[in-house]
Amino acid sequence: MSAVFNAISRYQNHLYRQYAPASYALMVERMSRLISDGNVTPPFEGSVFTTMELTFVDGSSHEQYNEDAAIEAMEAVTIFGSFDDLLGGHLSFGKHRAAIQAPAGTTYLLPSASTSIRYTAIAKNERRYQFRQFISAGVLRWVEKGGRTDKQFEATTTAGEREVWAASRIARGDTTLNLFSQLDDIQAL
């Protein structure tokens, strides 16, 4: 990968570590397990993200929702391109009817799989790109299931083990909320 994308990846990881340290620490632990098992090489050295995506967006609006992103993790997005950010390319949060300007150079973190986001249209002759990293929920499930696919897990576990697994998934919602920083935590930085 180019030096530019390596630098962006390092910056995104830095923001993640700075603003959501509990979630970041959990992802470091999980990525370390994947790397030590020889199963995954992160897209960028030192990154906790399993997946990167580069999106080119033309003049139309663009909506995304990542169903495969891990809910207990953050995703990082950096915007670049040549567009008039006063007129378009705003980041809109799904049904919340809130939008913010997202000029080229903007990097933001969002809890993965938490809401759909949309970018407002830009002019036909303009271009907006995004470099996005996230952690695949499927990869994390694979780690939690001892390096087994869902099908392998079902075939090699008892009904009791599967019940324990299902209960842990239900409890994850409460645990997940504690992984993200509160406003007071961020203001203290």
Domains contained in the chain, CATH given: 3-187 (2.60.120.10)
Q: pLDDT means per 10 residues in the chain (189 residues)?
A: 89 92 88 82 89 76 53 84 90 76 91 73 89 84 82 90 82 70 68
> pTM, whole model, 2 decimals?
0.80
DSSP count for the chain of H helices, then E strands: 6, 8
Residue 89 tokens read as: 């390319």
CA distances for 160 relative to 124, 165, 168, angstroms: 57, 9, 12
What is the pLDDT at residue 16?
92
Residue 18 CB neighbour total at 10 angstroms: 13
